[in-house]
Amino acid sequence: MINKILSLIEEYDSIIIARHKNPDLDAYGSQFGLYYALRERYPNKNIYAVGDTNYLNKFKELDEVDDNIYKKSLVFILDTVVSQLIDYNVYKSYDKLVLIDHHKNDPNINYDLAYQVKDASSCSEIITELLMDLGIPISKTTARALYMGIIGDTARFLHSNTSSKTLRLAAELLDRGIDITDIHNSLYTETKKSKNMKNIFFNKTQYTSHSVAYNKNDVDFLEKYDLTTNYASRGLVNQMGGMEEVEAWVNFTFNKEEKNIICELRSKRIPVLSIAKKYGGGGHLKACGCTLNTWAETDKLIEDLDKLMEENNG
What average pLDDT does this structure show over 40-46? Answer: 98
CB atoms within 10 A of CB 255: 18
- Let me know: does 243 contact 213? Beta carbons within 8 Å: yes
Report the alpha-carbon distance of residue 79 to residue 19 in Å, rounded: 6
* Structural domains in the chain plus CATH codes: 2-187 (3.90.1640.10), 193-313 (3.10.310.30)
Section 24-30 average pLDDT: 97
Q: Are 272 and 249 in contact (CB under 8 A)?
A: no
Mean pLDDT of 59-63: 95
Q: Which residues contact 107 (CB under 8 A, 6 or more apart)?
A: 81, 82, 99, 114
Q: For the segment 146-162, what is each residue's pLDDT rounded down to a tens digit?
A: 999 999 999 899 888 89
Identify the sign of the CA torsion 76, 79, 80, 85.
negative
Tell me the CA distances in angstroms from 41 to 26, 37, 91, 135, 302, one per residue in order: 22, 6, 25, 10, 48
| pTM summary value | 0.85
Res. 167: pLDDT tops 60? yes
Q: According to the model, what pLDDT value does residue 314 have? A: 56
Span 110-124, pLDDT tens digits: 999 999 999 999 999
Q: What are the angstrom distances between the C-alpha of 260 and each of 85, 266, 287, 293?
A: 13, 20, 20, 5
Mean pLDDT of the residues in the chain: 94
Nearest to 82 by CA among 240, 283, 288: 283
Structural contact between residues 8 and 45, judged by C-beta atoms closer than 8 angstroms: no
- Buried b / exposed e over 81-118, threshold 16 CB at 10 Å, is bbeebbbeebbebbeebbbbbbbbbebebebebbbbbe
Mean pLDDT, residues 22-33 taken together: 96
Look at residue 227 and give its three-state secondary structure.
Answer: coil
Q: What does the pLDDT read at residue 22? A: 87
d(CA 260, CA 189): 31
More confident site: 1 or 165: 165
